Amino acid sequence: MVKKELLDKAMRHFISARVMTLSQLGVLLSCSQRSVQRYLSKWGGFRSYNHNGKYFSLPAIAHFDSFGIWKYNDIGFSRFGNLKETVVHLVARSPDGLTASELGEVLSVNAHSFMSQFRVDLRLKREKCDGVLVYFCSDHDIRIAQKRKRFTDQPLSTFPSNTQAVTILVSLLKNPKATIEELVKTINKEQNGISITMVERLLEHHGLFKKKGDTHLVKKILQVYLEHLCGEGEFLGQPESSLKPKDIENLLRKAADSLKGNSKRIFIAQTIEAYGYGGQSWAEDNLRWNRGTIRKGQQELISGIPAEERFSNRGRKKAEEHFPNLLADIKSIVEPRCQTDPTFHTRRLYRPITANTVRNLLMEDYGYDPEAMPHLRTISRKLDVMEYWPRKVTKSKPIKKIPETNDIFNQVHTINKEADESVGVLRISLDAKAKIKVGPFSRGGYSRQHKEGIDHDFDPDVILGLFGFFLPEYDDTHFFFSKSKITADFIVDTLEILWVKLKKKYQINTLVLNLDNGPENNSRRTQFLKRIVDFAYNNALHVKLAYYPPYHSKYNPIERVWGRLENHWNGELLDSEEKVLGLASTMSWKGNMPTIEMVEEKYDSGVKLTKDEMQNYEQRILRHPKLEKYFVDINPACA
C-alpha cells in the first residue's frame, strides 16, 4: 500500500505536468506499473489515443471540445477511449458521415494509416462518393439520414431504372439474407452499372430495408414492376425506352427461377392470369414453363391451399431404405470377426474380411437376391460408415496360428450367435488387463496440464490388477481391481459377486462365457474348472465356456473395452490408487459408465487339484468331441 504522502505528492506533480507516463508515476509512487494502473483506474484517468497510448491524464485536467477531444501539445485524449472507439463515436455523431481526411483534421493524426481496419468493423459502413470513401454509422436510420444529407445534391441517376429494379429484386429473392454490398457484387457479375446507392434508394423507397427477408412483399413489388415494363408506364426513377418482348420474357424467366416451390408456381399462375387468353401456350413456348406446373399453380392460386411438396421422396434412396436389415446383417457378419488394435493406441476395430466376402455371405447366409443386391462399392462404404477398418497393418496380425484356429472361430461364432438370439441366455466376455503400475509414469499420451511423466516405470508405488466383465448385447461393463494376483479363485469370486446383481436384472438360465486361454482361466486349469463347476451347480445354472484360439485374444470383445480405457486415461499420470479408480469410473462405453469395485482379499497362486479330484469334476462336464480344450459345457440339469 502506497503511503498517503506519496499519493498527495504524485497528484500535485500530475496536475502540474498535466500528462504523465506510467514509468514516471511509478517512480513517484515507488510501486510497480500494475499498481500505478490500479490507481489510475481509481482516479478515473484516461489514456492518449496517439503515441501508442503512452500518456495519461485526469478528468480534472482535461478540457474536451465539442467533438469530445482534448489536445496537449501533440498528445490527444478522447472522452470516448482509444482511437478506434473515438472514430466510431465521431462518425455516429456526424450529421453526414466523415471521410478519412475529415477524421484526420479532427484528431490531428494521419487517418489513412489506420482506417483500413474498419473494413471488417460492423459498427461502421463505408461507401465511395466521387472516388472518396465516406464512413457512415451502421445503424440503419442514422445512416440513411447521414447519406440523405451528404447526397442531397446527387442527380436522379442514383435511382435505378425499372429494368435495374427488377434485376435487384430478383437478386434479392435469390439471396434474401445477403447484405447490400453482397447483392451489388453479385449483380455486377452479370450487369454493370448498379451501385450501392441505387440499391439503398430502391429498398428505402419501398420500405424493404428491414424486410429484405419478406419474400411475399418483394414478389408483390416485383410483379408491379413487371406490369409497368409491359407498357403501363414508369413506376420509379428515370425514364427509359420501352422494352422489347424478348427482354420482358428474360426478366420473367429470371424472376421465376429465383423462386422455389409454391412461391414459384403462384408467380407463374399470376403471370398467366395477367397475360389473359392463350397465356399457357405462350408461357410454354416462350418462357419454357411446364404446362403441368402452370395448372398446379392455378389450382393453388384459386384454392389458396399450397400443394404438398414431398421433397424427401425425390432422388435416390439409401441402400438401407430398400433393405431395412442390411446394416444389422452386416454387423452380425463382421462384428464377431473384428479385433481391437493390439497396441491400444486407437479405438479402431480391424476386420479380417473384405467387402466382397461380406457381400457373398449376405447372399449365401441371409438370402439376399444377387440381382437386387447392393453393389460391392456400396457394401464397402457401409463398412467404412460403421467404422470397421480393413486390416492392412502388421500389428494386427496374430503371431501364430494353430491348425484348429478356423474351426475354433466358427464354433465360437455359432455359440455367440445362438446366445445373442436366445431368450434367457446371457453372454459375458471376461479377461484381465495388463498390470497397472501406479506412479508418475508416462503412458504415451499428452496432457493439457503439461505434466511430464517418467520414461521408465521402475519402483512403482503399488501394482494394481484389473479384471473386467463385458456384456456385449447390453454394453454393460464391470471392473474389479485388486492389489493381489489375478488367480482362478479371484476370477470366480468376482463372477459370484457380479452374479448377485445380474440375476436380479435379467431372467437367466444359461450363461455363456467368452474367454482367452490365459494361465489362470483355461479349461485345463484345475482350480478354475473346479470353482466354475461349483458355481454352476450351486446356482443351478447352465454354463458354457467358449475360448478364443491361442494368439487371437484380441478378438475377445472385452479387449475393445481395454482399448477405450487406455485411450481414456492416456496423457494422465496414474500416480495414486484414487486416480486410477476415478479415471476408470469416468470411462464410457457407448454411453454407459462401468461399475467399479476394489477387492481387498489376498489370493495365493499355485492352488490346484490332484488327478483323482479332477477325475470327479471331469465327469460333471461335457467337452467338445474335437475341440475339447476350447469348449466346455456345464449343465447341472443333465448330471
281-336 pLDDT, tens digit per residue, is 888 888 889 999 999 988 888 888 888 877 777 788 888 888 999 999 998 888 88
627 and 527 share a domain? yes
268-291 pLDDT, tens digit per residue, is 888 888 778 888 888 888 888 999
Report the number of secondary-structure helices (H) and strands (E) in the chain.
24, 19
Q: Which residues of 427-449 are buried (b: 16+ CB within 10 A; e: fewer)?
A: bbbbbbbeebbbbebbbeeeeee
| 248 assigned to some structural domain | yes
Distance (Å, whole) CA 484 – CA 462: 11
88-140 pLDDT, tens digit per residue, is 888 888 888 888 888 888 888 887 777 777 777 778 888 777 667 888 888 87
User: At a CB cut-off of 8 Å and minimum separation 6, what does 505 contact?
Assistant: none
What is residue 590's predicted lDDT score, i.e. its pLDDT?
85
| 70 assigned to some structural domain | yes
195-208 pLDDT, tens digit per residue, is 777 777 777 766 66
The three three-digit cell numbers of residue 542, written as one number: 447352465
Q: Which residues pair with 464 in a beta bridge?
A: 436
Do 300 and 265 touch, CB atoms closer than 8 A? Answer: yes
| 402 assigned to some structural domain | no
228 and 292 share a domain? yes
| 409 assigned to some structural domain | no
Distance (Å, whole) CA 591 – CA 475: 9
604 and 620 share a domain? yes
Do 25 and 36 touch, CB atoms closer than 8 A? Answer: yes
Percent of the chain with pLDDT over 70: 86
92 and 74 share a domain? no
The model scores a pTM over 0.95: no
Distance (Å, whole) CA 568 – CA 533: 36
Do 338 and 386 touch, CB atoms closer than 8 A? Answer: no
Using DSSP, state whether 277 is helix, strand or coil: coil
Do 547 and 623 touch, CB atoms closer than 8 A? Answer: no
524 and 630 share a domain? yes
Percent of the chain with pLDDT over 90: 22
Using DSSP, state whether 428 is helix, strand or coil: strand
Report residue 517: phi and psi, to 5°.
-95, 55
365 and 458 share a domain? no
Going by their DSSP bridges, the two strands 388-390 and 69-72 should be labelled as unpaired
Q: Which residues pair with 98 in a beta bridge?
A: 135
Do 491 and 607 touch, CB atoms closer than 8 A? Answer: no
The three three-digit cell numbers of residue 49, written as one number: 489515443
170 and 243 share a domain? yes
Of the candidate ranges 228-232, 497-501, 555-559, 596-600, the one whose mean pLDDT is the lowest: 228-232
Report residue 223: phi and psi, to 5°.
-60, -40
Average pLDDT for the chain: 82
147-177 pLDDT, tens digit per residue, is 777 766 555 446 677 777 777 777 777 777 7
The total of other beta-carbon atoms located within 10 Å of residue 341's CB is 21
List, in sequence order, the alpha helices (H) in 51-175: 83-93, 100-107, 140-150, 162-174
In total, the chain counts a number of residues equal to 639
Query: Of 95, 129, 150, which one is at a domain's C-terminal end?
Result: 150
The three three-digit cell numbers of residue 136, written as one number: 457512415
Give me the domain span that covers residue 542: 414-446+453-638
Distance (Å, whole) CA 344 – CA 570: 10
